[in-house]
Amino acid sequence: MDTEQTGAVQRALDDAEMLATYKLAIERVIARLPVKNGVVDIDSIWIETSIPYDLLRALLQRDDLKLPENVERINLKSMTRKGDQRARSKRRRRR
């Protein structure tokens, strides 16, 4: 292999290692988060890990993520990033 191919292989290994590290961090955090009816929200994971949101969403959609027994699924709909529409409608208007 020439130097360019070696560099490409090294970058691929570095990327795979980085993703594995993020995945492990997510799995550890999920085990410590509150679970409501078997569901954990992406916002809770995002706040705890500080992983960039788009990367976090991509990692949570993977099939190889190991969830604790009490977690059935992860809610990928964010209330923080787009604003909670229900909370807005419940606000009182100032007079």
The pLDDT value recorded for residue 95 is 62
| 71 phi and psi angles, rounded to 5 deg | -105, 115
The pLDDT value recorded for residue 84 is 46
The pLDDT value recorded for residue 28 is 95
CB-based contact 18:51 (threshold 8 Å):
no
The pLDDT value recorded for residue 13 is 67
Dist CA 43 CA 48 (whole Å): 9
Q: Which sequence spans correspond to the domains of the chain? A: 3-77
Helix (H) or strand (E) holding 90: helix 85-90
The pLDDT value recorded for residue 68 is 93
The parts of the chain modelled with pLDDT lower than 50 are 84
